[in-house]
Amino acid sequence: MPATPHLAPPMSDGPLSRPQRPWLSILIPVYRAEKYLDACVASVLAQGQEGVEVLLLDDASPDGSAEIAAALCEAHPGRLRLLRHARNAGLSGARNTLLTHASGRYVWHLDADDVLLPGAIDGLRRIVDESSPDLVLCDFSVLRERSGLKHRIRGEGHCAGFDGGSNRVESDRSRLVAGLMRSRCLQAWAKVGRRRVWLEACFPTGRRLMQDVAVMPALVAATRTFLHVRKPWVGYRRHGESAWGCSPGALRLHDAVASLRDLKSGMSGIPGLDAEAKFALDYYCLRSLARISGRIPKNADRRQGDGRDVISDAFDDMFPAGPASTITACHSRGWHMRAWRLRRACELARRGGVPDAAGDDAGVGSVGANR
């Protein structure tokens, strides 16, 4: 995995007074978050747990986020610590820097536009006290400015962060990989880990999209025990400024594909994965490539470097034998409609997102949205 970025040492607004080592560090990178930062920090401080350090890092944000962060630290002395980057390092660089400054036994990455739901820290503390797993996986809720009936039907009030056993400590990496891939929740904020575990999973600097996907193999490889709690602990905010909320652009598509390549090669290199884990990994990667290809506008000009060649090349490199074995495995599970959708979507991805002569790209949306 990439090393921690070589940056000027971040400026600090002073050390916290710590009579003993915190049991938890909550790490919040701050960039263009002026509309959400107050709510994010308030959701953490309202839970009032002792032994929790909260680190904010201003990643040279061009809006008013730095001033808001400084005001929050002044209003809550001893409870918050503010770090600053002299220049913007991106989300990956900010997370890596925060991790090097964290002193808690456990680390929780939290995005500045999200919130911790009530009872999250208490719930985590009980698990840590009782069983101390290397990694704790949690569920989440989707927060929208306007939530309608279709969102409630989708179950956005409680989304699974893991598809496998719950409320028991496990050590089978195959089950961990399969559960992550089936849930399609690879976001770092749904995975609270020991600091030593997260230190093995540096985020890839310079990536603009799907950074969390790229670090999952290293995180899994460093994890000896894990536990999934079937409760939503994070409120994940969906809005137009989020990573997939706008057209990703060619460079961001390159980053997304690079992260998928890292995921596939990294997970495939973990020894001892069983057939179910390998199938879940392949199914996730194929669907994700299809989803990415579906993001390319139909009227995009290939001469402008729209990312189509990157997607088709990745498809051939990651699946040199094609998707046939994965599609067959879908049929064996009775997933006949999913197999049909996957086949159609793979045809599109192999062409780099170019529809056929009839303009038929059916299945891409379905593959990207439904399991």
pLDDT digits over 52-109, tens only? Answer: 999 999 999 999 999 999 999 999 999 999 999 999 999 999 999 999 999 999 999 9
Q: For 4-34, what is each residue's pLDDT tens digit?
A: 344 444 444 444 444 589 999 999 999 999 9
Q: Which of 23-37, 169-183, 280-294 has the lowest mean pLDDT?
A: 280-294
Nearest CA to 69 among 93, 98, 49, 96?
98
CA distance 106 to 129: 12
- Predicted local distance difference test score (pLDDT) of residue 369: 32
pLDDT category, 363, cuts 50, 70, 90? very low
Query: DSSP characters for 14-70?
Result: -----SS--SEEEEEEESS-TTTHHHHHHHHHTT--TTEEEEEEE---SSSHHHHHH
For residues 226 and 135, the answer to whether their CB atoms sit within 8 Å is yes
Burial class (CB in 10 A: 0-12, 13-18, 19+), 202: buried
Residue with tokens 């913007």: 88
Give, for 215, the enclosing helix (H) or strand (E): helix 211-222
Q: For 137-178, what is each residue's pLDDT tens digit?
A: 999 999 987 767 777 777 788 999 999 999 999 999 999 999
Q: For 220-241, what is each residue's pLDDT tens digit?
A: 999 999 999 999 999 999 876 6
| Domain spanning 11-237: CATH superfamily | Spore Coat Polysaccharide Biosynthesis Protein SpsA; Chain A (3.90.550.10)
pLDDT category, 251, cuts 50, 70, 90? low
- What is the average pLDDT value for the chain, to the nearest integer? 86
Asked if pLDDT for residue 242 goes beyond 70, the answer is: no
Task: Show the tokens assigned to 20.
Answer: 């003993």
| Domain residue ranges in the chain | 11-237, 249-369
CA distance 138 to 344: 33
Dihedral, CA atoms, 177, 179, 182, 183, nearest 10 degrees? -120
Rg of the chain over Cα atoms, rounded to whole angstroms, equals 21
- Predicted local distance difference test score (pLDDT) of residue 250: 63
Task: Show the tokens assigned to 237.
Answer: 């905010």
- C-alpha dist (Å) from residue 211 to 208, 222, 320, 350, 369: 7, 18, 25, 23, 20
Asked if pLDDT for residue 365 goes beyond 70, the answer is: no
- Predicted local distance difference test score (pLDDT) of residue 282: 97
Q: For 313-336, what is each residue's pLDDT tens digit?
A: 899 999 999 999 999 999 999 999
Residue 335 DSSP SS3? coil
Alpha carbon of residue 332 to chain centroid = 30
- Predicted local distance difference test score (pLDDT) of residue 145: 76
CA distance 136 to 192: 5
For residues 128 and 94, the answer to whether their CB atoms sit within 8 Å is no
More confident residue, 152 or 195: 195
CA distance 322 to 88: 40
